[in-house]
Structure 1
Amino acid sequence: MLKMIFCVRKKKGLSDEEFFDYWLKSHGPLVASQTISLNIKRYVQSHAVDGEFGHEVSAARGMKISGFDGIAEIWWDSRKELDLALQTENGQAASAILAEDEARFIDMERSTIFFTEEHCVFQAP
């Protein structure tokens, strides 16, 4: 499986409550409405909690990058499935719709995206 990880920082001027509410209640359903056009298998939002604690733990490890407000994870069966979706008119339109909406609440210059393949090291019974 291919997974996209979108490390998100909110736009300046938005409170945490406004940001998380919009992301979950408006953008989340918008992503869900585009799953067929984009061949998406799963979508998960992880909203940051206790940001100060995160900064303390990061600083203790020598990290200098400030934290993210959350991450979004999107899964596809394969890179080929994502590529096939993006080659269609519907997939391109869906991608544009999502990007336009993300620009409303995400600070794109301070956010980042990368792709992964998971390797489970262990799983508790």
Structure 2
Amino acid sequence: MLGEHIVIKLVYCIAKRDDVDLADFYRIWLEEHGPLVKSLASDLQAVKYVQSHTILPQVNQMFKGARDGLGDPFEGITEVWWESEEDLTQALQTPEGLRAAARLVEDESRIIDFAKSRVFMTEEHTIF
């Protein structure tokens, strides 16, 4: 289960496909993709999954204006936590984990522009 210190986290900065309506994107991501991720969590040994949907466009524009060269915001981010690097590595070496990962990529391809999105692994350092 989720402990006090989670060692590893995937951060996925998501840009929607141009041919997907914004309202449809958020609905599909939250109501269809989210439950799919939850159903596959044990196969991936993931202990937490969070979607953060972008809001407050006027504030986002203010941030962009104050930082020369800053690009447009992503539609949101996904975060997925594992208790350890070993849990993640082990999950991606099992047939169930590999099937789950492939199923998620397949589902994401319906709404996410992979070329404009970014995904990377992180280690959290809580400041406050």
Calculate the TM-score normalised by the size of structure 1.
Answer: 0.93
- The runs of at least 4 aligned residues of structure 1 exceeding 6 Å deviation read none
Q: Is 2:20 the partner of 1:17?
A: no
Q: Report matched runs for 1:1-125 at 5 Å.
A: 1-122=7-128
Segments of structure 2 that go 5 or more residues without pairing to the other structure are 1-6
SS at match of 1:34: helix
What displacement does 1:56 show?
2.5
SS at match of 2:104: helix
Per-residue deviation, residues 85-119 of structure 1 (Å, max 9, x unmatched): 00000000000000000010001000000111111
Q: CA deviation at 1:47?
A: 0.2
* Aligned partner of residue 27 in structure 2, secondary structure: helix
**Deviation of 1:20 (Å):** 0.3
Matched to 2:33, the amino acid is H
Letter of the aligned partner of 1:40 in structure 2?
A
3-state secondary structure, aligned to 1:114? strand
Give 5+ residue unaligned stretches, structure 1. Answer: none
SS at match of 2:109: helix
RMSD: 1.0
How many residue pairs match? The answer is 122
Match of 1:26, SS?
Answer: helix
Cα shift at 1:60: 0.7
TM-score by length of 2: 0.91
